Amino acid sequence: MTDINTRPRRRALANEVEELCNLAAAGLPGMFNGEKNLFCFRVQHSNGCVAQEGISHRYTIMTLLGLHEYAKSGGRVPFDIEAIFLSLTQNPDWITNVGDAGLLLWLAAEGFPQHLEQLDRRLNFLKVLERYPHDRNTMELAWFLAGCSHAAISTSSVLPGTSDIAGAAYRLLIQNQGDSGAFGHNAPQGSLAGRMRAWIGSFADQVYPIYAMSRMAQAYGLDEPVSRALRCADAICGAQGELGQWWWHYDSATGKTLGRYPVYSVHQHGMAPMALFALEQVSSREYSEAICRGLQWIQQANELRSDLRDEAHHLVWRCVRPTPAFLTNLEDVAGICGFAASPIGQCNLKVLRECRPYESGWLLYALAGRNLRQSQGGSETGIRQASEIATAST
């Protein structure tokens, strides 16, 4: 039975998530390039101002996925997201890899299935793996697998044959999974540097496969992808920091953390919840405690006791990172050599005041409309523990 004393905190948590989604949505107009009809690469804070830099088709796709979810939850979207989608597809020459093709398929299947058949006639999604035979990195294969799975879930009659190409992508993807359940960046290459890069996986190399394999299980009624996704989730949850941090680099053979920093806000509020919520839907596992501890890190329950939300600019700042930057590399090297990571003191950590639109996109995709008022009691325990640890560490 739920302790009645936890109910106010659950209501507060649900309100905080709703406010976080509204904050992210409010900040996106400042990251939109109206002339290009695309979102920018990033905004940076300097001398009290926030300025745009560049454009990104990839980030635009991720942002539209989030805005579509936000609109479904009843949020007000100040964009014509279909018009932006169509501008992405008018000249698809920017697609040069498996990952971007997979992301566009994912967006079309979820948000604009009425355009999927015409888009497939131009891009021939079933031939993507043949078109880019050397693209075998974990993150991008996972995006493509997610795209195929969403196409099967939403409208398999429009794009038949996804099960075969999804199976091919899955078989390539699991070659990058280590004995621990964690993923390396890609399949081992010939050189020493190539083998080392294959062995080490970033946090992105963990969460996107978890998400993609969960959606594959949902789309095609398969059990094996769930088992592999659970092994990876066990690895990252076992390594999660005591303040709820999702760390940066992992040893795919052992599952241990190699380099902890930077800790990225999008991992905390977007990518981890997105992956773990999807896995909950196809398994008997429940990850609300780990998710909520990660979310709490954004709001002062972190190493710096600093709120990474900027209400004035409607942004969540990008990360907490070591300074000087070489400390990040030292942690990776120490981990590779089998040494424990040296503690990075508070004085060596700073907030990077930068934001990229995909970060807000994944936040909205993961959390918009999420009913955390019904979260289980374990989540509240995790939140209290994170706050208490943060206070004790100062």
pTM: 0.89
pLDDT (0 to 100) of residue 324? 58
Bridge-based pairing of strands 263-264 and 354-355 is unpaired
pLDDT (tens, 9 = 90+) of the chain, 394 residues, equals: 334 444 444 455 667 899 999 999 999 999 999 999 999 999 999 888 999 999 999 999 999 999 999 999 999 999 999 999 999 999 999 999 999 999 999 999 999 999 999 999 999 999 999 999 998 999 999 999 999 999 999 865 678 889 999 999 999 999 999 999 999 998 766 555 556 667 899 999 999 999 999 999 999 999 999 999 999 999 999 999 999 999 999 999 999 998 899 999 999 999 999 999 999 999 999 999 999 999 999 988 999 999 999 999 999 999 999 985 655 555 655 555 555 555 565 668 999 999 999 999 999 999 998 865 444 433 433 333 433 433 444 3
Residue partners of 134: CB distance under 8 A and separation at least 6: none
Record: fold of 4-392: Glycosyltransferase (1.50.10)
Q: Taken in order 322, 325, 326, 332, is the CA torsion positive or negative?
A: positive
CB atoms under 10 Å from CB of 190, counted, come to 7
pLDDT (0 to 100) of residue 374? 46
Q: Taken in order 110, 278, 144, 237, is the CA torsion positive or negative?
A: positive
Cα–chain-centroid distance for residue 71? 20
Residue partners of 136: CB distance under 8 A and separation at least 6: 172, 175, 176, 186, 187
Burial of residue 48 (CB within 10 Å: 0-12, 13-18, 19+) is exposed
pLDDT (0 to 100) of residue 155? 67
CA distance 52 to 125: 33
CA distance 233 to 237: 6
Q: Ramachandran region of residue 95, left (φ > 0), alpha (ψ -120 to 50) or beta?
A: beta
pLDDT (0 to 100) of residue 332? 58
Two structure tokens written together for 281 = 């839907």
Q: Which of 271, 244, 206 is nearest to 66 (CA)?
A: 271
Two structure tokens written together for 282 = 């196809």
Q: Which of 296, 292, 259 is nearest to 273 (CA)?
A: 292
Q: Where are the alpha helices (DSSP H) in the chain?
A: 7-27, 57-72, 81-90, 98-111, 116-123, 128-131, 138-155, 162-174, 192-199, 204-220, 224-239, 265-266, 272-282, 288-298, 326-336, 357-367, 377-392
pLDDT (0 to 100) of residue 5? 42
Q: Which letter does DSSP use for residue 262 in this model? A: P
Q: What is the residue extent of each domain of the chain?
A: 4-392
